[in-house]
Structure 1
Amino acid sequence: MLEWLFFLLPVAAMSGWFAARRHYKKRRRHNDTPFNPDYFKGLNYLLNEQPDKAIDVFIGLLEVNSETVETHLALANLFRRRGETDRAIRIHQNLIARPTLSSSERTHALLELGMDYMHAGVLDRAEHIFLELLQHSPVPYQAPEQLLRIYQQQKNWARAIEMAEKIPGNRRKQVGTLIAQFYCELAEKNAEKDRHGSLAMLKQALYHDEACVRASILTARIHLASGHPRKALKNLLMVEKQNPAFLSEALPLLLECHQQLESIDTFQNWLRQLLQRHPHLTSARLMLAKLIEQSQGRNSAQEYLYQELHQYPSVEGLYQLMRLDENNAPALIPLIQKITDNMISRGDRYTCKNCGFSGKTLHWHCPGCGKWATVRPTEVHLSALEKLLDRTT
């Protein structure tokens, strides 16, 4: 047995050597295979400064398989960032057409194709793709978010609400604010045709966002228009708790409620209490001064404002005080009134807390950053005098 063993060892070694030699010869012959002619075609396009055609050729040479899918997606995203959306669309369409793609890879490619169409502004095709993705399991979280963007642009508030409710719960607070604003849009649109329906929508708005000032103010306006000042008053009194910055918007409606209820004295007392809680609320101070003027005369209103402005100065208050004392210094008062009037008219009444956009009109949807419920009323105080003087020059 030992003799046979010593005889077979050299035979085994020789067999292994021949097998290895055949393998490497075969591999070398395979590697010696000429390049794909399309490769030289692409190089020719590059040399002739035709990069568009060259890229198309090289994309075609890149075989789609499980190892190159990410390369295709990265290349398409690069094109989209560069603004070459048509190329990104072609790559993603090419990926989706491949039967070898796995379910997750196809879902990813579909999502990217929808983003291509969004970037290109082709909203109908993007909508179709994202609606298809809603049928997948699991649903990509981007699908309802992108549909929400589409329906906001189309002002399709009912569908926007539907998509917002599909967004995951970790963004529930932000989504609640959006849904409340969408219900307000629907209610405002239908307020004259269907008051009861609008009130129901505003109730839904407050359900999703109890701090929605817009819903409270709109509800109050509908009740006032329907001859229900007490119901309107109840809604308006919620504004202080929801967001005191919007009290200046609620005050004219509160005055209208008390006028219809013939309870101006009660309103005056409430304004005094309000100023104790919010001493820098200039709009409330000016309204109280007007009510004092109507009930007690101009001198009493002037004395009240004179004392208040020493502690809480404001441009609007100064203007009102000069109006009450227009008989004194007849040559100087008109000039000062003109300057302060110019400053007040140029001052911005509303500012977005998110992007700093400012203007003279209240926008519930900020034109600057596109955020909802971020614009706040502001009041022109003497601290802003330098900025306003710059605008007048």
Structure 2
Amino acid sequence: MPTESTFLLAGLFLLLVAAGWALGRFGERDEQDEVAPPINTDYLKGLNFLLNEQTDQALEHFLKMVRVDDKTIETHFALGSLFRRRGEVDRAIRIHQNIIARPDLAAEQRDLALLSLAKDYLRAGLLDRAEKMFVRLAEGSRHQVEALERLCRIYEQEREWQRAIDCSQKLEILSGKSLALQIAHYYCELAEKSALAKDYPAARAFVKKAQSGRPRTFRGALTRANIARETGDFKLALKLYHRVMDESNYLITEALPRMVDIHREEGTVEQLQKTLQAMLDKLPESGKDVAYTAIVNNIGGIAVIDDCVEHYMLNEPTLLEFVDLRQFAAGDDGARKMALDRVRAALSKMAAATPRYQCHECGFSSQRLLWQCPSCKNWETQRPFTRVQFDTLLQRSAATA
């Protein structure tokens, strides 16, 4: 039975029939006003191929039958776009190559055909071919801005960060739009890559570029702190982590576990407690972030953090629907501690099976912090949850019941 997409193609052919008839009926005539030619039966043959699900034969027939000229080129573009949207990029590629092959094609139409073909290659995953096309278009065509935007995406996917920087800087000039945050993240990617290779001088230089003359990205400060930690400069690392937490509550989930590790290694947990208490006195609402971070990372044994976790558990409305912890809070210290520890361990286990971060632009969620959202491709849009996602767990339980 013919599919919906088949009828779309058939409709396109019927449009060709109507267009051909109209051109013959109302187009230019000679002085003797000749009679319009009859509808070409080849159109009906192509339509028959489509209705019988013989798409390949229909395409071959169409390419042979319809000469690419000023009257049919828009139809070729429409058909190629339709095939690409359907995922049949091999057919879209053939159509756009057929357009480009025309020797007398106008420059504007050639650029549009190149852009369409580049999109076909991109949809097919042929990044190298798409890149060559977009580079050509970015050198001065009317599609220069779109080509540069596409190139940035390709370089992001290929993790060619220096090329992405160069491309974005050109795009800033042409579009008049600031891409400062995007470029800063590219430099941070280079910094993290250098740090992974133990090239710390290069890593520091890239972080400096990320934060030089641009709006500050919290990733730059966090990356700098991580470099200091890896090189054994714990004093600087702690200073930077503390600054990160002061300026951005949402990065407590990233900074606090690293601070705990350093203070435990250095034997300075008391100093950490004073630092956290000062932060909580200044920003009491950050207690829930500390609690959530401690739960998902299974951090315990530090009084100020344990207090935050206990307060969270005793005031989490969804949790109280299942376990009435308040009755244990009034009991003896031993039973109270045992009950709270058991619930806390269960929460840590539950949190490990649910997303921790969510993009505030598109809603994409993940277990770890992703600086670029894989769904909407925006930078620095993910934020941590501040509570265990009981709703997700309940939905999973209902689905498996």
- Give the superposed CA RMSD: 4.0
The amino acid of 2:202's aligned partner reads G
**1:376 to 2:383 alignment:** yes
**1:185 to 2:189 alignment:** yes
The amino acid of 2:144's aligned partner reads P
**1:328 to 2:335 alignment:** yes
- Partner residue, 2:356: 349
From 209, 215, 218, the counterpart of 2:220:
215
Shift of 1:246: 0.7
- Partner residue, 1:40: 41
CA distance in 2, matches of 1:390, 1:84: 37
- Partner residue, 2:256: 251
SS at match of 1:354: coil
Shift of 1:223: 1.5
CA distance in 1, matches of 2:227, 2:396: 38
From 154, 160, 166, the counterpart of 1:150:
154
Shift in CA distance, 25/361, structure 1 to aligned 2, threshold 3 Å = closer
Shift of 1:261: 8.4
From 126, 133, 138, the counterpart of 2:137:
133
Q: Which runs of 5+ in 2 are unaligned?
A: 1-28, 320-324
From 204, 210, 214, the counterpart of 2:209:
204
Shift in CA distance, 278/388, structure 1 to aligned 2, threshold 3 Å = farther
- Give the number of aligned pairs: 350
SS at match of 2:358: strand
Q: Over residues 129-154 of structure 1, what are the superposed CA-to-partner deviations in whole Å (9 max), with x where a residue is unaligned?
A: 11111222455211112222222222
Shift in CA distance, 339/24, structure 1 to aligned 2, threshold 3 Å = closer
CA distance in 1, matches of 2:310, 2:139: 67
CA distance in 1, matches of 2:33, 2:349: 87
CA distance in 2, matches of 1:129, 1:219: 38
SS at match of 2:383: strand
- TM-score normalized by structure 1? 0.72
Shift in CA distance, 241/292, structure 1 to aligned 2, threshold 3 Å = closer
The answer to whether the Cα contact below 8 Å between 2:222 and 2:241 also exists between their aligned partners in 1 is: yes
Q: Over residues 100-139 of structure 1, what are the superposed CA-to-partner deviations in whole Å (9 max), with x where a residue is unaligned?
A: 2222221111111111111122222111111111222455
Which residues of 2 match residues 1-393 of structure 1 at below 5 A? 26-28=32-34, 31=35, 39-47=40-48, 49=52, 50=54, 52-138=56-142, 140-168=144-172, 172-173=177-178, 175-191=179-195, 192-207=197-212, 210-240=215-245, 242-255=247-260, 267-281=272-286, 282-284=288-290, 290-292=301-303, 327-328=334-335, 336=343, 339-380=346-387, 385=390, 388=393
Shift of 1:362: 2.4
- TM-score normalized by structure 2? 0.71
The amino acid of 2:169's aligned partner reads E
CA distance in 2, matches of 1:204, 1:234: 21
The answer to whether the Cα contact below 8 Å between 1:349 and 1:361 also exists between their aligned partners in 2 is: yes
The amino acid of 2:283's aligned partner reads H
Shift of 1:81: 1.3
The answer to whether the Cα contact below 8 Å between 2:118 and 2:129 also exists between their aligned partners in 1 is: yes
Shift in CA distance, 346/82, structure 1 to aligned 2, threshold 3 Å = closer
The answer to whether the Cα contact below 8 Å between 2:165 and 2:186 also exists between their aligned partners in 1 is: yes
Give identity over the alignment, percent.
Answer: 34
The amino acid of 2:108's aligned partner reads S
CA distance in 1, matches of 2:215, 2:239: 14
CA distance in 2, matches of 1:127, 1:310: 53
Q: Over residues 218-248 of structure 1, what are the superposed CA-to-partner deviations in whole Å (9 max), with x where a residue is unaligned?
A: 2112112323334334433442465321123
Higher gyration radius (CA): 1
The amino acid of 2:229's aligned partner reads L
CA distance in 2, matches of 1:232, 1:24: 85
CA distance in 2, matches of 1:206, 1:240: 18
Shift of 1:98: 1.9
Shift in CA distance, 203/150, structure 1 to aligned 2, threshold 3 Å = same
Shift in CA distance, 177/337, structure 1 to aligned 2, threshold 3 Å = closer
Shift in CA distance, 217/24, structure 1 to aligned 2, threshold 3 Å = closer
Q: Over residues 146-187 of structure 1, what are the superposed CA-to-partner deviations in whole Å (9 max), with x where a residue is unaligned?
A: 2222222222222222222222465744x3332222222222
- Partner residue, 2:10: none
CA distance in 2, matches of 1:225, 1:187: 13
CA distance in 2, matches of 1:349, 1:388: 13
